[in-house]
Amino acid sequence: MQGKIVAITGASRGIGAATARIFADAGARVVLLARSGAEIDALAAKIGRGALAIPCDIGDAGAVDAAFAQIAKTCDGLDVLIGNAGAIEPIARLTDAGVEDWSRAIDINLKGVFYGMRAAIPMMRARGGGTIITVSSGAAHNPLEGWSAYCASKAGAAMLTRAAHLEEGAHGLRIMGMSPGTVATDMQVKIKASGINPVSQLDPAVHIPADWPARLMLWMCGPGGDDWLGQEVSLRDEAVRRAVGLIA
């Protein structure tokens, strides 16, 4: 990743922050995108190595376009986009969910992935190639009580990722999904507190650390990801964990 420009959405905490650190350690210049400007400013300062923080609401198309215009101006291109930003709320049965809250989840988890791809793809095509990884979820493929917005938006993002590779693979772009399983992040704290569906009953000890999906995505950006183009890599797969070096 030496000298590569890597943009990460939802970079202020959890998987996004861990990914920023892992990719920077591998030699990339990371661009941190999140709504919380103070948090990504602090993280960029800790990372160093030219890390750039750009406050951005991924669910706002205009904000995303402006952020990627700044990346183009400041970094002169883009090599990797990690579409990590995601929202679990509202955790509620379908008939109890507020319309605005439900719609906001779609804005972030589905439309935000589209906005990021739409802005990044022309930059990557101009560069002769690039990699886009969408952070997916088991919820994209399996319904869960109280998660109608999350499941529906993640399912849409998974299909969007497949469609993007179908359209752009011939132009040198490598587009894939990455499903991490349950990860020890703030999202799991919210899920636990909800008490809804079996995921909330899991022992926190079973959740993997946030650097595991980060390391998998770094691996996916190299030759290891070539067999997964247009597909979704699951970190629940022990063979994948071994290939990445996460387990013996």
Say if residue 98 is exposed, middle or buried (CB neighbours under 10 Å; 0-12, 13-18, 19+). Answer: exposed
Q: Which two tokens stand for residue 220?
A: 């996916």
Judge whether 115 counts as a catalytic residue: no
Number of Cβ within 10 Å of residue 156's Cβ equals 17
Label residue 97 left, alpha or beta by phi (over 0 means left) and psi (-120 to 50 means alpha): beta
- The vertex-81 CA angle with 87 and 3, nearest 5°, equals 140
Is 43 within 8 Å of 53 (Cβ atoms)?
yes
Residue listed under structure tokens 């972030």: 108
List 68, 150, 212, 219, catalytic entry: 150
- Strand 130-135 and strand 232-234: the pairing is unpaired
| Dist CA 78 CA 103 (whole Å) | 30
Helix axes 211-220, 14-25, angle to 10 degrees: 50
- The vertex-126 CA angle with 124 and 129, nearest 5°, equals 45
Is 244 within 8 Å of 238 (Cβ atoms)?
no
Residue listed under structure tokens 């990719």: 23
Which residues participate in catalysis according to the annotation? 150
